[in-house]
Amino acid sequence: MRPKDRKSTDSKENDLQGGYWESRPGDKVIRHPRERQISPIQFTIESAKSIPFLLQYPFLVAYCFIVIIVICSTLLTLPMMNSTGNTTPYIDAFFTTISALTVTGLTINNSAVDWTAAGQAVILCMIFVGGLAYMLTVILCVIMIRNRSQISNKQSSLGIVNTIHWKNLARLAVKIGLFAIGIQVIGLVLLLIKFWFVSSPGEAIFQAMFQSISSFNNAGFVILNETQSLASYKADDFLLGVTALLILSGSISYWVIFDILRRKRFLTLTLNTKLVLIGSGALILLGAFAFLTFEYNNPVFFDQLTFWGKLKASLFESISGRTAGFTVVDYRETSHHTNFVFVFLMLIGGASASVAGGLKINTLMIVIVGSFFILRGGRRAGIFGRQITYKQVNGAIILVFMVLGTIFFTTFMLMLTDPRFLFKDLLFESASALGTAGLSTGITSELSVSGKIIIVFNMLFGRLGLLLMAMFLMKRHETNNYRYAEERIILG
């Protein structure tokens, strides 16, 4: 190449690098890829240390429950806890501890007679811790799972911002605790008006406190001088009314109550709140109608009551029997039809994120809505202008089958361990334990040791097992990038 051509070429290259070169007639431009700019950038990311499955939040709560169970059951065996001054058999203390911590209410011993004031105080502390800790666990787990799985959304369906920090979680926990304690204090003051004129001041305060805490936490424990729960107070509208309101406050959940107070109109409520209110109202009406219909002419406990008295007693049984276990009747004397309806109600229980146990009203409503749209051939399940995901519908159906399978298995096992009892009584007892409702046909204390262990399993599974399974279903994600070929199966 001649020097002149080389100089011209160098000038072109300099102009090209400067970004202002213009082509001339006869120039041939050859472009090469800018390898440094288009080459992939390589960097290393340190893998995040995931928390082991058995050390996640719900399991930590279960471990705390185990520690509390060991300590409190050991305390209840001490002679100072027993009114006779004797050592309580460990199986009885263990059963009472599980029943109190899971706020079930099934008892082997008479809480008003067999335990001293110290024993009753230990039971009261377990009820308070068991109810509040469970409610906080459910709410915080739901928030953390939604925060991880829906981090791209600004707001979840429950109206809570997903990007929540630990300080906000702690603030929410304090708010929930103050809410629960505040309602129980209000209940204490109202009940104190009732007990102040019939007992000494110290006894009245303790009875009012025990009844308020037991009612709000849907525990069903009673220390009044009555052998059969609240049977002597079936005509006392004030006591039954306050107890019923406390039960509803605890079983309807913190989210629902605050959503009602914040929005105040049904149309503006969240879908969760609407389903809980509709489901709760329907179940209360169903239970009250069934009890009033089947027990209207029962002379054992309705003989001296007017129609309105029977209606109020039936309404109280429907509210309490589904979640709390307080009762003004003896379920050994009720009809088979009544007991069958209440088996269904106890298995459903209260609302999610409340102190109540059971399958939960939210789960039932999701299954009903999803089944309705499936029967209509719809592709999506929804109501009130909101869509329910198929993941939630499938999870709710799984929980239903788990509850039905558990009640079938445990009732069958009770038939093997305690064959002297009728099937209907064993089914009622098993459903009461699994739904942590607390109603009984009077066979709890007469069960064998194996039967009591089965009931204990039901109480723990109904309280913690269903919670862990629900949390697992909420976190479950589809990871497979393939699917098998479809094949039709004959139905019906």
Structural domain containing residue 433: 53-475
Residues 410-441: tens digit of each pLDDT: 999 999 999 999 999 999 999 999 999 989 99
Residues 12-45: tens digit of each pLDDT: 455 544 455 566 776 766 666 666 666 666 655 5
- Classify residue 35: in a domain, yes or no: no
- Classify residue 369: in a domain, yes or no: yes
User: Does the pLDDT of residue 192 top 90, yes or no?
Assistant: yes
Please compute the mean of the pLDDT values over residues 175-186 and round it to a whole number.
90
- Classify residue 13: in a domain, yes or no: no
- Classify residue 438: in a domain, yes or no: yes
What average pLDDT does the chain have?
81
């029962």: which residue's tokens? 298
- pLDDT for res 44: 59
- pLDDT for res 267: 83
* CA-closest candidate to residue 407, choices 473, 351, 467, 340: 340
């479950």: which residue's tokens? 476
- Classify residue 22: in a domain, yes or no: no
- pLDDT for res 208: 93
User: Does the pLDDT of residue 478 top 80, yes or no?
Assistant: no
- Classify residue 452: in a domain, yes or no: yes
CA atoms in the 13 A half-sphere facing the CB of 254: 24
- Classify residue 9: in a domain, yes or no: no
Domain count, the chain: 1
User: In sequence order, which residues have a C-beta less than 8 Å from that of residue 278 and are 6 or more positions away?
Assistant: 365
- pLDDT for res 4: 47
Residues 80-135: tens digit of each pLDDT: 999 888 889 999 999 999 999 999 989 888 888 889 999 999 999 999 988 888 88
User: Does the pLDDT of residue 405 top 60, yes or no?
Assistant: yes
- Classify residue 100: in a domain, yes or no: yes
Please compute the mean of the pLDDT values over residues 64-71 and round it to a whole number.
87
List the structure tokens of 440: 């009984």
User: Does the pLDDT of residue 209 top 60, yes or no?
Assistant: yes
Residues 90-99: tens digit of each pLDDT: 999 999 999 9
Q: Among positive and negative, which fits the CA dihedral 96, 102, 103, 106?
A: negative
Please compute the mean of the pLDDT values over residues 149-174 and round it to a whole number.
55
Residues 325-365: tens digit of each pLDDT: 899 888 988 999 999 999 999 999 989 888 888 889 999 99
